[in-house]
A and B are shown apart, each in its own frame.
Chain A
C-alpha cells in the first residue's frame, strides 16, 4: 500500500454557527500536486489553515506521512516535527515576513529552530536555499520592503523550503503578482517539485492556473467538495453544474457574461431549494 504524504478525512469547521468547511476529504501522494478551487468564502483558506494547525478542526482527521495530527500537539518536539512536515506560503508575503528582519535572517530562522547546525553550516544552507529561488547576496542583506512582490514571494518560498517539508500549502501564493512574474514563480515551483519531491496543495480561485500546476483538483462550494478528480478530466468534462459555471466564467474569446450570470442565478435558486 502506498503511503500518502497527506490524508484528510471529513474535515469540519464552523465559526459561530456558520459552517465554513463541511466534510472535506482528500489525499495527496508524495510529490503530488492538488489544486483546491472555489469562489470567495467557499472554505479554501479555512481548510489550508487547519492543515498547518493555524485553526483547530471541529471534527475530522489529518494524517501526514501516515501519522495522525488531529489531536493537539503535546510538547515542543511534536510541535516542531509537525511544523517541519507541512509549511504554508500566503498570498501576501508582506504580511508573513517580519519587516524588521533581513532576508538572510528570515531564512536562517527556521534552520536554527529545526536543525542542529553550526553557524557555518547554517549560512551555507541559507545561501543554497536563496540561490534555489533565484536570490543572490544583494537581496539576502535587504529588508522585505526593499524587495519587489515577486522577490518577496521567493523569500517566503525559500523559508518554507528550509525545513524540507513533505507538503507545501500555497494559499493564492501567486495571486498578487503580475502575470509575467507569476509565470516565473510557477516555473520555479514546478522545478522544485521535480527535484525535491515535495507535494503541493495549491489553493487558488484561478481555474486557468489549475491544469498548469496540479495533477488533481478539488472543487469547493459553500464548504463542501462538489467535485474532484484529475485536473485534465475535471477541466474538460466537469460533472457538477457548479464546476461548469466556474469554468464558463473564465474570460476567453466567445465569452458570454450574460449567460454566466443567468446560470449563476439558476444554480443559486437550485441550491436554496435543495437545502
Chain B
C-alpha cells in the first residue's frame, strides 16, 4: 500500500521549559491524500497552527513532540536536517495568516519568490522567469515589474497572492494554508480561494486548510477536522458535518455561526474556549456542554467511528439519535 501524502499519528506537543511547561497538543491524528482538500477548524488557541506547523517541524521554542508526522511515509519529526531542508523546499509549503508579518519588508518581491529556487541551484535568470510566471498565475498583472517592487507597495490581498506564488515555487505536493484569507475581504478571499482550489485540481496537490470559519472549510474541503483544546474532537466529510454534526462542540459552533440564508439568530456557547493547558480532566468541553454527565469529566473520550464520522464524545451514539 502506498503511504498517504500526509499522515499525522498521535501527535503530542508539549512545552518542556521549567515553569512554562504545559501540554499544547494531545493525540492529534489526521491525514491528507493526494489532491485532497482537508479542513482543520477550531477556535483560537485550539492548536490549529501548532498542528499545521509541525508538518514542517516548526515547533514552538522549547517544545517537544511525540508521535509521528509522515509525508509520503517519511517521518518529519526524526528526519535529518538536510532532508528537512529539502522537504521544505520541494515537497511541502506553507502559507501564513499574515503576509505582512511573514515577508521581509526590506527585500524585493522577486527575492522572496525566487529564494527557494535559487537555493535549489537554479540560475538567476531561470528563477526570475519562473517567478514571473508564478505571479501571473496568481493574478498579478505586469509580473516582471512586480518582481522589482517592495512589499509595502502591495495591498494585503496582493501580498497574500505573492506569498502563495512563493509557496508554489517549489511545486509542493502538499500545501499547508494557515488561515490564508482571514485578513482579507470576502471578495478578495474568494479570489485567493479560487487560485488555491484551481491549483489543487491542476497539480493534484494536497491541501491542509486551517480556518476558524466552518462555512469556508465546508465550501472548499472534502473532509473537515474539528479541534478543541489541543485535541481533534470530530472528523467528517464536509457535507456530513453540516447535515449531522456528531460532537456537541461542532453543533455548538454551527449554531453560533451567523448564516445568510437563515433567520435563526446565532446562539452562543456558554463559557469560553480553553487551551489544553487549562482544560480540566476528562472531556475538555464538559464545562460548556449541555449534555455533560459526571462520567464525562473522568477520562478523555476516545475517538471512535460512527457511520463514517469520527467522534470523541462519550455520548456520541445516543446524541446522534435525538
Query: Interface on A for B, CB 8 Å cutoff?
Result: 39-40, 148-150, 178-187, 190, 205-209, 211-212, 235, 245-253, 255, 257-258, 260-261, 264
A207 to B273, CA, bound (A): 25
B44 near A178 with CB under 8 A, answer yes
Task: Flag if B190 contacts A249 (CB, 8 Å).
Answer: yes
Contact across chains for A180 and B269 when beta carbons are under 8 A apart: yes
List, in ascending order, chain A residues with CB within 8 A of B263's CB. 211
Chain A residue contacts of B187, Cβ below 8 A: 39, 245-246, 249, 260, 264
| Pairs of residues from A and B, 8 with the lowest C-beta to C-beta distance, nearest first | A184-B268, A183-B268, A180-B269, A260-B190, A257-B194, A249-B186, A178-B43, A183-B266
Inter-chain contact A187/B273, CB cutoff 8 Å: no
The answer to whether the Cβ of B1 comes within 8 Å of any Cβ in the partner chain is no
Asked if B293 is at the interface (CB within 8 A of a chain A CB), the reply is no
* Contacting residues, chain B, for A186 (C-beta < 8 A): 258, 265-266, 268
Q: Assess the B193–A179 pair: CB atoms within 8 A.
A: no
**Residue of B with least CB distance to A247:** B260
B122 on the A face (CB < 8 A)? no
Q: A257: which B residues are within 8 A, CB to CB?
A: 190-191, 193-194, 197, 220
B192 closest partner in A (C-beta) = A257
B277 to chain A, nearest CB (A): 15
Task: Determine whether the beta carbon of A260 is less than 8 Å from that of B261.
Answer: no
Are A183's CB and B267's CB within 8 A? yes
Expressed in whole angstroms, the minimum distance between the Cβ of B91 and any Cβ of chain A is 26
The residues of B that contact A246 with a CB separation of less than 8 Å are 186-187
Q: How many residue pairs between the two chains, A and B, have CB atoms under 8 Å in the bound complex?
A: 127
Are A261 and B265 in contact (CB-based, < 8 A)? Answer: no
CB contacts (< 8 Å) of A249 on chain B: these are: 185-187, 189-190
A212 to B261, alpha carbons, bound, how many Å? 11
Bound: A180/B194 CA distance, A: 28
Assuming A186-B265, A253-B218, is B43 touching A180 (CB within 8 A)? Answer: yes
Please tell me if the beta carbons of A178 and B190 are within 8 angstroms of each other in the complex. Answer: no
Indicate if the CB atoms of A208 and B260 lie closer than 8 Å.
yes
The residue that A182 contacts in the complex, of B139, B215, B266, with Cβ under 8 A, is B266
Task: Verify B258–A264 contact, CB threshold 8 A.
Answer: no
Give the complex CA separation of A39 and B191 in angstroms.
14
A256 to B252, CA, bound (A): 27
Across-interface contacts of A190 in B (CB, < 8 A)? 265
Partner of A180, one of B239, B242, B273: B273
Contact of B260 among A149, A179, A235 (CB under 8 A): A235
- Residue interface mask B53-88, A partner, CB < 8 A = 1: 000000000000000000000000000000000000
B290 at the interface (CB under 8 A from A): no
Known: A247-B260, A252-B219. A183 touches B269 (CB 8 A): yes
B133-159 contacts to A, CB under 8 A, are: 139, 156
Q: Are B260 and A211 in contact (CB under 8 A)?
A: yes
Do A251 and B219 contact each other (CB < 8 Å), given the known contacts A179-B257, A261-B191?
Answer: yes
Q: Is the CB of B198 within 8 A of A258?
A: yes
Q: Is the CB of A187 within 8 A of B193?
A: no
Contacts of B156 in A (CB 8 A): 40
Residues B258 and A208 in contact, CB atoms below 8 Å apart: yes
Residues B242 and A205 in contact, CB atoms below 8 Å apart: no
Interface residue B253 (Cβ < 8 Å from any Cβ of A): yes
Question: Do B185 and A180 touch across chains, with their CB atoms under 8 A apart?
Answer: no
One digit per residue, 1 when the CB lies within 8 angstroms of any chain A CB and 0 when it does not, for chain B 186-214 equals 11111101100110000000000000111
Q: Which residues of chain B from 163 to 189 have a CB within 8 Å of any chain A CB?
A: 184-189
Which of the listed residues B255, B256, B258 has the most CB atoms from chain A within 10 Å of its own CB?
B258
Interfacial residues of chain B within 247-289, with CB under 8 A of chain A in the complex: 252-253, 255-261, 263, 265-270, 272-273
